[in-house]
Amino acid sequence: MDTAEIRRRFVAHFERNGHTAVPSASLLLDDPNLLFVNAGMVPFKPYFLGQETPPYRRATSVQKCVRTPDIEDVGKTTRHGTFFEMCGNFSFGDYFKDGAIELAWELVTRPIADGGFGLPEDKLYPSVYDDDPEAVELWRKITGLPDERIIRLGKKENYWSMGVPGPGGPCSEILIDRGPAYGPDGDFSAEDRYLEFWNLVFMQDELSAVRSKEDFDIAGSLPKKNIDTGMGLERVAFLLQGKENMYEIDVMFPVIEKAQELTGRRYGANPGDDVRFRVVADHIRSSMMLIGDGVTPGNDGRGYVLRRLLRRAVRSMRLLGYEDRALPELMPMSRDKMGETYTELHRDWERISSVAFAEEDAFRQTLKAGTAIFDLATTEVKRGGGSQVSGDKAFALHDTYGFPIDLTLEMAAEQGLSVDEDGFRRLMTEQRERAKADAKAKKGQHRDARAYREVADSLGRAVEFTGYADTVSEGSVRGIVTAGGVVPSAREGDEIELVLDRTPFYAEGGGQLADQGVIELDNGALLQVRDVQSPVTGLIVHQALVLSGEVAPGLGAHAKVDVERRRSISRSHTATHMVHKAFREALGETATQAGSENSPGRFRFDFSATGAVPTSVMQDVEARVNDLVLADLAVHAELMTQEEAVRSGAMALFGEKYGNEVRVISVGDWARELCGGTHAHRSGQLGVVKLLGESSIGSGVRRVEALVGGDAYRFLAREHVLVAQLSEALKVRPEQLPERVHDIVEKLRTAEKEIEKVRLGQLLAAGGELAASATDVGGVKVVAHRADGAGGGDVRTLALDVRGRLPVGEAGAVVIIGAGTDGKVSVVAAVNDEARNRGVSANELVRAIGPLVGGRGGGKDDVAQGGGTDTSRIDEALALVRTEVARATGQAIG
Question: Using one digit for the tens of pLDDT, what is the confidence trace for 612-631?
Answer: 899 999 999 999 999 999 99
pLDDT per position as a tens digit, 43-74:
998 888 877 888 899 999 999 999 987 787 88
Question: Helix count (H) and strand count (E) of the chain?
Answer: 25, 35
- Taking residue 54's Cβ as centre, other Cβ atoms within 10 Å add up to 18
Query: What local confidence, expressed as pLDDT, does residue 436 receive?
Result: 62
**Rounded to an integer, what distance in angstroms lies between the CA atom of residue 7 and that of residue 846?**
68
pLDDT per position as a tens digit, 486-526:
999 999 999 999 999 999 999 998 899 999 999 999 999 99
pLDDT per position as a tens digit, 266-285:
999 999 899 999 999 999 99
Could you give the maximum distance between any two Cα atoms of the chain, in Å? 105
pLDDT per position as a tens digit, 797-821:
889 989 988 877 767 899 999 988 8
Query: What local confidence, expressed as pLDDT, does residue 653 receive?
Result: 63
**Rounded to an integer, what distance in angstroms lies between the CA atom of residue 273 and that of residue 256?**
11
Q: Helix (H, G, I), strand (E, B), or coil: what is residue 51?
A: coil
432 pLDDT band, cuts 50/70/90, is confident
Q: Exposed/middle/buried for 758, CB within 10 Å: 0-12, 13-18, 19+?
A: exposed
Query: What local confidence, expressed as pLDDT, does residue 447 receive?
Result: 42
Q: Exposed/middle/buried for 333, CB within 10 Å: 0-12, 13-18, 19+?
A: buried
**Rounded to an integer, what distance in angstroms lies between the CA atom of residue 315 and that of residue 321?**
10
Residues in Cβ contact with 585 at an 8 Å cutoff, skipping those fewer than 6 apart: 624
CA distances from 818 to 651, 832, 840 (A): 63, 18, 18
Q: Are strands 20-21 and 166-177 parallel, antiparallel or unpaired?
A: unpaired
- Taking residue 635's Cβ as centre, other Cβ atoms within 10 Å add up to 22
Query: What local confidence, expressed as pLDDT, does residue 445 receive?
Result: 35
- Taking residue 713's Cβ as centre, other Cβ atoms within 10 Å add up to 15
Best CA proximity match to 135, nearest among 165, 158, 162: 158
Q: What are phi and psi of 466, to 5 degrees?
A: -105, 5
Length, in residues, of the chain: 894
Q: Write a three-state SS string for 156-190.
A: HHHEEECCCCEEEEEEEEEEEECCHHHCCCCCCCC
pLDDT per position as a tens digit, 850-887:
889 888 888 889 999 888 889 889 999 999 998 889 88
> By percentage, how much of the chain surpasses pLDDT 90?
54
What one-letter code names the amino acid at 200?
A: L
Whether the Cβ atoms of residue 565 and residue 516 lie closer than 8 Å to each other: yes
Query: What local confidence, expressed as pLDDT, does residue 442 receive?
Result: 40
Supply the mean pLDDT for the chain: 89
Give 30 or 265, the one with higher predicted confidence: 265
Whether the Cβ atoms of residue 321 and residue 265 lie closer than 8 Å to each other: yes
Q: Helix (H, G, I), strand (E, B), or coil: what is residue 479?
A: strand
Query: What local confidence, expressed as pLDDT, does residue 288 receive?
Result: 97
Task: Flag whether pLDDT at 446 surpasses 50.
Answer: no
Binding-site members are: 573, 577, 675, 679
Query: What local confidence, expressed as pLDDT, does residue 547 receive?
Result: 96
Give 733 or 767, the one with higher predicted confidence: 733
> CA angle 387-401-384, nearest 5°?
20
444 pLDDT band, cuts 50/70/90, is very low
Best CA proximity match to 43, nearest among 92, 78, 2: 92
644 pLDDT band, cuts 50/70/90, is confident
Taking the chain, what is the end-to-end CA distance rounded to the nearest angstrom?
92
Helices (H), 806-873: 833-837, 842-849
Exposure of 701 in the CB half-sphere (CA atoms within 13 A): 18
pLDDT per position as a tens digit, 321-359:
998 999 999 999 999 999 999 999 998 898 899 889 988
Whether the Cβ atoms of residue 225 and residue 233 lie closer than 8 Å to each other: no
Best CA proximity match to 618, nearest among 671, 646, 579: 579
pLDDT average, residue stretch 103-122 = 95
**Rounded to an integer, what distance in angstroms lies between the CA atom of residue 64 and that of residue 24?**
6
pLDDT per position as a tens digit, 719-763:
899 989 999 999 999 889 989 999 999 999 998 888 877 777 777
In 682-779, which ranges are E strands? 689-698, 701-708, 775-777
Whether the Cβ atoms of residue 31 and residue 298 lie closer than 8 Å to each other: no
Sign of CA dihedral 90, 93, 97, 102: negative
Which range (115-124, 400-409, 457-466) has the least confidence?
400-409
Query: What local confidence, expressed as pLDDT, does residue 437 receive?
Result: 64
In 822-880, which ranges are E strands? 824-831, 856-859, 863-868
Binding-site members for Zn(2+) are: 573, 577, 675, 679
Give 459 or 598, the one with higher predicted confidence: 598
Best CA proximity match to 69, nearest among 40, 45, 36, 44: 36
Task: Flag whether pLDDT at 257 surpasses 50.
Answer: yes
Q: What is the pTM of this model?
A: 0.67
